[in-house]
Amino acid sequence: MTIPGFDPARELHFALQLADVADALTLPKYTNRSFYVDWKANRTEVTEADRECERLISERVLADRPLHGMFGEEHGLVGNADSPWRWIVDPIDGTSNFVRGIPVWATLIALTHVDHGPVAGVVSAPAMGRRWWAARNLGAWADGRKCEVSKVASLAEAQVSVTFAKGWDDLGLTDELVRLQQRAYRARGFGDFWQHMLVAEGAVDLAIDAVGLEPYDLAAVMIVVEEAGGTFTDRKGERTYLHDTAVSSNGLLHGHIAPLGA
């Protein structure tokens, strides 16, 4: 698919530069434990590293892509609100891990188009020493190695990751997810961005995220999974990064979970 005005290599290169800016701020703060913690209204942690990282990224986007908009977790929408092109950023996905010294956190950066969804994305996890990236028709990559999803077609042979949360209880679907795990070869709960990157790499075959997600949790991971040959939908099977649930798989196993509770 060709998108007018979109140069995938150019935009991916810019997204990688934005990730470099983010890593240069977040990793030293994490390593040195040099941050303070505040609490949002929804009782989730936020640090000045989250806010400062997003500010630096937005400054760079506004300077280098003045015709684009940007939406971030901490500061909302900035730039050209009417542009079909919008950068979607989670400065630190996994802030709870960041705060507690668990290295599984990442900066998520995606370029989206109003008609085509995510078209370029980077997931940068500097404390893990890992980075994943993708752009439409350029494939998906992990630390320079091409990503491809697995070819496991049987749930009984599959590795699955499920993120349990109160939202699944509220939907009455926790028992169904437990039964799914029991049918799988092995079940784990890697959580956040990592489970979807493991799907893209072919290490995990099916990943079910928590309930209550936002576009900045999903846009970057969606493009990586899809360019690796996988399938990315909400729990009802709709291809989207705009809903509050997410399921990624190698495609062969997607029918085992989506639709879930539809």
Q: Report the distance separating Cα 133 and Cα 143, nearest Å.
A: 8
Q: Which CATH number fits domain 155-256: 3.40.50.1370, 3.20.20.105, 3.40.50.300, 3.40.190.80?
A: 3.40.190.80
Domain boundaries 8-146, CATH class = alpha beta
pTM: 0.94
Give the pLDDT confidence of 167-182 residue by residue, as tens digits: 999 999 999 999 999 9
pLDDT at 10: 97
pLDDT at 143: 96
Q: What's the pLDDT band for 63 if we cut at 50, 70, 90? A: very high
All structural domains of the chain with their residue ranges: 8-146, 155-256
Domains 8-146 and 155-256 share a fold: no
